[in-house]
A and B are shown apart, each in its own frame.
Chain A
Amino acid sequence: MLQTDNLTFRYKKEGQIFKFPNIALDENENLLILGKSGIGKTTFLHLLAGLLSPTDGKVVIDDVSINLLFQSKLDTFRGQKIGLVFQKNYAVKSLSVLENLYARLFFSKKTIDNDEIDKLLEQLGIKDSKNSKIHELSEGQLQRLGIALSVIHKPKIILADEPTSSLDDENCKVVIELLKNQAERTHANLIVITHDQRIKTFFQNSITL
């Protein structure tokens, strides 16, 4: 499902060279990537998501070498196959919860299924806030919306960048469980990149950068 080969990245010509280990994930396999700050965790994640182009090497998702895609094709591909979760969860501020989900589906060219959306919001416990504006949500609700936005379009890969670093132990556990459940439900690979040692126990596969 996901493979990387000899991924290398360099920010500027004279900049530091990041070399990343090769990874290969089969369907339903999850991966925890651990690493200290500044080691290029986010860079690795952005390379996997096609947000950055590698200086060398390649990323293959669903048998497609994403680095060979044209920009607009890559945008569509990313929109359909990848779900991103950020450390601090954001959604488009001018839209409501529901409108954010609609926009998510619109841009990934997926049809809107209101039952599906309700079910997902129910599972994440934010169904009551579905017409709320983003600024009306609490941190926890926002975190859940972030998860909802990363899975609503049934991606092949969920990439989470430090999803738990600002959470207490209890919420940390809740968020990881939610992410794992959603990944399982949608048959997606879950890749979590973090320096947070607490979540080691939730994953069978892990690598350290």
Chain B
Amino acid sequence: MNIWKISIQNLKSKPLYTFLSILILSLSIMLLLSVQQLKISFKNQIDSNLGKIDLVIGAKGSPLQLILASVLHLDNPTGNISYHEAEKISKSSFVKLAVPISYGDNYEKYRIIGTTKEYLSIYNAELQNGDVIKKPMEVILGNTVAKQLNFKIGDTFLSSHGLKENDIDLHADKLTVVGILKPTKKVIDRLIITNLESIWNVHKHEDEIDEDNEIHTEHHPQKTHDLNREITSLLISFKSPRALLTFPRKINKETNMQAALPKYELHKLYEYTNIGFQTISWIAYLILLISGMIIFISLYKMVKERAFDLALLRTYGASNLQLIKMVIYEGITIVFFAFIIGFIFVKTALYFIFKIVKNYYHHNILQELSFNEVLQTGGLVLIMMFLSISLATYPIIKMNISTILSNEK
């Protein structure tokens, strides 16, 4: 027999209170850890997807939309810009790397983007197997795409027009898989990458057909066609950050295109979403406070209701300190189980949340919490519990055994 055993027996003798205390505490631990994990995953997702992109140039419109479409590949693009104009910008002495991207099609909701081979270097993406794109209508698949669609090198498919999946508006040209990328945990994992010509070719035929059907005009000379070529946006990495001060202003002022700073725009986005995270955090803190109160009430009730038992133990030779230990051990047991259950809850809840997110965005953004962050939440919970337990042991210090034993009748 020892104090631990008595504490455990005490808990067992009031299963409902014990269960409730553990449940609500584990729930608040779950909320706190989930919010933290979601927040960190979200921030990390944004940060890592920026890669080396300092500036995005695209059609005029909402800068956030441009960034969402061109960097995170979530929104629709603002419009197209002239490839010719973009090339001129690329040649500027400030620019270290300029990567054009062109949108237009999807396969099974995975976006197909036409770009140059430098696009891979933005995300440090490497080929897992296969080869680089050598000619139009060849594609490289992001790792998630390859896995989800179960595609191998040499497989072919037909893209559908637009960024939403549909069976009606299929293009006639077959795309061939020539390479598959290693997983990067970045946005490139869920993209289908091809060269600019593939996108132009697919859409040129249609333009021509449209033109033939509707206007019946003469054939465009090759030169004019080149000038008419369009891309969705241009991703730029500068040689020196100083360019950030002047370059965007120049573009916005002197051309009919807009330059958007992804870091700035995404930071703004992060600030917006942060309000939501803040709210959930406050709710989690509130639940933690309530769980602290429930544990306090449960222990305090035990101390008050069992005053006679405690007085009896004092006549057995137990000291005040031993009785306080008894209550503390009960609290510790509750907190211990709540932590374990809370942790299991978090893992399960996040598993389902990310499964849903993955189905929706075709992308896994799960980011493991660092030990420090778990420790932070743990510390907060422990301080809260320490307070509840200390308050609950107060009546023991004030206990008058003689009075309690005299009032037995």
B9/A94 in contact, CB under 8 A: yes
Most chain A beta carbons < 10 A, residue from B5, B10, B312, B320: B312
Separation of A91 and B319 alpha carbons in the complex (Å):
17
Residues of A within 8 A of B13 (CB): 93-94
Answer yes or no: A196 CB below 8 A from chain B CBs: no
B5-44 interface bits toward A, Cβ cutoff 8 Å, 1 = contact, 0 = none: 1100110111000000000000000000000000000000
Residues of A within 8 A of B308 (CB): 90
Answer yes or no: B316 CB below 8 A from chain A CBs: yes
* Closest chain A CB from B48 CB (angstroms): 54
A79/B317 in contact, CB under 8 A: yes
Instruction: Out of B309, B322, B401, name the residue touching A107 (CB < 8 Å).
Output: B322
B315/A49 in contact, CB under 8 A: yes
B406/A42 in contact, CB under 8 A: yes
Answer yes or no: A119 CB below 8 A from chain B CBs: no
Add 8 more A-B contacts to A91-B312, A94-B12, A103-B1 (CB < 8 A): A49-B315, A51-B401, A75-B320, A80-B317, A93-B309, A99-B6, A105-B1, A107-B313
Name the CB-closest residue of B to A105: B1
Most chain B beta carbons < 10 A, residue from A75, A90, A91, A95: A75
Interface-facing stretch out of A18-26, A81-89, A123-131, A171-179: A81-89
Instruction: With A90-B312, A92-B6 as known contacts, state yes or no: A107 contacts B405, CB within 8 Å.
Output: no
B402/A95 in contact, CB under 8 A: no
Name the CB-closest residue of A to B401: A51
A88/B1 in contact, CB under 8 A: no
A51/B9 in contact, CB under 8 A: no
Answer yes or no: A104 CB below 8 A from chain B CBs: yes
Answer yes or no: A58 CB below 8 A from chain B CBs: no
Name the CB-closest residue of B to A110: B317
Instruction: Out of B1, B315, B321, name the residue touching A112 (CB < 8 Å).
Output: B1
* Closest chain A CB from B140 CB (angstroms): 67
* Closest chain A CB from B396 CB (angstroms): 13
B317/A92 in contact, CB under 8 A: no
Q: A-B pairs with CB below 8 Å: how many?
A: 87
Answer yes or no: B318 CB below 8 A from chain A CBs: yes
Separation of A120 and B406 alpha carbons in the complex (Å):
28
Separation of A54 and B393 alpha carbons in the complex (Å):
27
Separation of A102 and B6 alpha carbons in the complex (Å):
10
Residues of B within 8 A of A99 (CB): 1, 5-6, 9
Closest 4 CB pairs of A and B: A79-B317, A102-B1, A94-B13, A107-B316
Separation of A140 and B408 alpha carbons in the complex (Å):
17
B321/A51 in contact, CB under 8 A: no
* Closest chain B CB from A159 CB (angstroms): 10
Residues of B within 8 A of A154 (CB): none
Answer yes or no: A109 CB below 8 A from chain B CBs: yes
Name the CB-closest residue of B to A92: B309
Name the CB-closest residue of B to A47: B402
B306/A93 in contact, CB under 8 A: yes
Answer yes or no: B409 CB below 8 A from chain A CBs: yes
Separation of A84 and B315 alpha carbons in the complex (Å):
7
A75/B10 in contact, CB under 8 A: no
Which residues 124-165 of B sit at the A interface, judged by CB distance below 8 A? none
Separation of A152 and B141 alpha carbons in the complex (Å):
80
Which residues 340-374 of B sit at the A interface, judged by CB distance below 8 A? none
Answer yes or no: B2 CB below 8 A from chain A CBs: yes
Which residues 50-98 of A sit at the B interface, judged by CB distance below 8 A? 51-52, 71-72, 75-76, 78-80, 82, 84, 86-88, 90-95
User: Could you name 8 residue pairs across A and B whose Cβ atoms are closer than 8 Å?
Assistant: A78-B314, A79-B317, A87-B408, A93-B306, A94-B10, A99-B6, A107-B316, A107-B322
B317/A109 in contact, CB under 8 A: yes
Separation of A52 and B10 alpha carbons in the complex (Å):
28
A78/B315 in contact, CB under 8 A: yes
* Closest chain B CB from A135 CB (angstroms): 10
B6/A75 in contact, CB under 8 A: no
A95/B6 in contact, CB under 8 A: yes
Name the CB-closest residue of B to A87: B409
Residues of A within 8 A of B317 (CB): 75-76, 78-80, 107-109
* Closest chain A CB from B317 CB (angstroms): 1
Residues of A within 8 A of B12 (CB): 94
Instruction: Out of B14, B313, B319, name the residue touching A103 (CB < 8 Å).
Output: B313
Separation of A94 and B312 alpha carbons in the complex (Å):
13
Separation of A43 and B406 alpha carbons in the complex (Å):
8
Residues of A within 8 A of B406 (CB): 42-43, 46
Answer yes or no: A106 CB below 8 A from chain B CBs: yes
* Closest chain B CB from A102 CB (angstroms): 4
Most chain A beta carbons < 10 A, residue from B9, B313, B317, B319: B317
Instruction: With A71-B320, A88-B408 as known contacts, state yes or no: A106 contacts B10, CB within 8 Å.
Output: no
Separation of A112 and B5 alpha carbons in the complex (Å):
15
A72/B321 in contact, CB under 8 A: yes
Instruction: Out of B1, B313, B401, B408, name the residue touching A86 (CB < 8 Å).
Output: B408
Separation of A154 and B272 alpha carbons in the complex (Å):
73
Which residues 387-409 of B sit at the A interface, judged by CB distance below 8 A? 401-402, 405-406, 408-409
* Closest chain B CB from A6 CB (angstroms): 20
* Closest chain A CB from B1 CB (angstroms): 4
Separation of A206 and B321 alpha carbons in the complex (Å):
38
Name the CB-closest residue of B to A109: B317
